Chains A and B, each alone.
Chain A
Amino acid sequence: MEPDQVNVLSPPVLGDFEQIQDAEEPRLPRQLWRNIGESDQLNRIYLDLAFFHSITAADPNVGMHPEAHARSDFSAAKAIAQPLGEGHEQSLTQVTSLSERVPVYMAGDVDAPILDLRKATSFGIISPAASFMGRLTRQNIRGGETQMRRGLLVSALGMMVLGGLASVHGLWGQEKKETMPEPTVKVGDMAPDFTLRGTHGQQVSLHDFRGKKNVALAFYIFAFTGG
């Protein structure tokens, strides 16, 4: 055995995982495991699969066995990188990549603290881990050590993506909803007088126009921008 063939990481596989795969799960969870199995026959690398699957709905107590009836109404997971959180169900069908997801988040409703444990476990952190480890087990059995290491790599990548998402998401989750100041001067009020300097330093006051002209007073955000 060559040194690079030594499997330094002893597989972090829990004994129950094979049982998860073999147990007859009804409906969607079972279907997704089957999907994983099918590509197995092509190349045994599995990169053609979605990283996250909406298979398991682990409870906060982190049961290992998928809950067969929970959340089974999801459509199949589409792609990598689904941020966890409020409205992530929609993200399954509408958004396929992280780069597309970002603007949705910036513009969207990110008021509440989003990373709520139950949702995270039911969709994100726990279940992909189970999924990857489950795959790992299978590779260990069918393939040689090469496949084993690949499996580990894929698994590790998946974890990194997850971790990154969780932290990025945490940041977004804390962002406050955009708040606009409420104008204190409203229709019917007397406009407060002011004196400001114009583009050449000349002083311009509102009272200059009193009794002479209407004033269209346009507050704009920044010079050199639209509007």
Chain B
Amino acid sequence: MQNFQQNLEKLEAADTQVLGVSMDSMFSNNAWAEKIGVSFPLLSDWGGEVTREYGLYNPQYKAARRVNYLIDKEGKVVEMQLDSEAIDPTKIVTLCERRKSEK
């Protein structure tokens, strides 16, 4: 999430809203967001319904798999990054900026 925060200006300049999602409670998300200075919403999927709907529920950890999606304005998934490659949002930033400049 810190990596998204560092790129937040670029992402917002490229018309992109960042949303973090996990199966933590909103209270722990709140505490964490304050601790690491995240200003975009961290959403609480308490119970994991959304996580399961996206097929990301990992029963071993009882938590989500680490995945980044880039969803365009029409609601279509245009990019997906899994696991370790999802830690670095640079590719998403680049994609967003390109989409912006193509218009």
Contacts and interface: CB of A to CB of B under 8 A. Distances in A.
Contacts of A197: 26, 43-44
Interface string A186-227: 111111111011111110101101111111111111111011
Interface string A61-89: 00000000000000000000000000000
A225 B15 CA distance: 28
Given A199-B29, A214-B15, A216-B92, A181 B1 contact: no
Contact of A189 (B15, B30, B31, B76): B76
B71 A223 contact: no
Interface residues of B, number: 66
B3 A223 contact: no
A84 B58 CA distance: 30
A207 B60 CA distance: 31
Nearest to A198: B41
Interface string B20-45: 11101010111111010000011111
Given A187-B78, A221-B61, A227-B3, A214 B71 contact: yes
B15 A213 contact: yes
A179 interface: yes
Contacts of B33: 199
Given A191-B69, A196-B43, A223-B42, A210 B22 contact: no
Interface string A164-192: 00000000000000111111111111111
B55 A199 contact: no
A204 B80 CA distance: 21
Given A178-B60, A223-B32, A212 B18 contact: no
Contact of A192 (B1, B54, B79, B87): B54
A185 B67 CA distance: 11
Given A200-B30, A214-B70, 15 more contacts: A180-B58, A181-B59, A185-B77, A190-B77, A196-B43, A199-B29, A201-B26, A213-B17, A214-B17, A214-B99, A217-B71, A219-B51, A220-B21, A220-B22, A222-B63
Q: Nearest 4 pairs between A and B by C-beta?
A: A184-B55, A196-B43, A223-B32, A198-B41
28 contacts: A183-B67, A184-B55, A186-B80, A187-B77, A188-B76, A189-B77, A192-B53, A193-B75, A196-B43, A196-B45, A199-B42, A214-B70, A214-B73, A214-B96, A215-B19, A216-B11, A216-B18, A218-B1, A218-B4, A218-B20, A218-B21, A221-B58, A221-B61, A223-B22, A223-B31, A224-B28, A226-B87, A227-B86
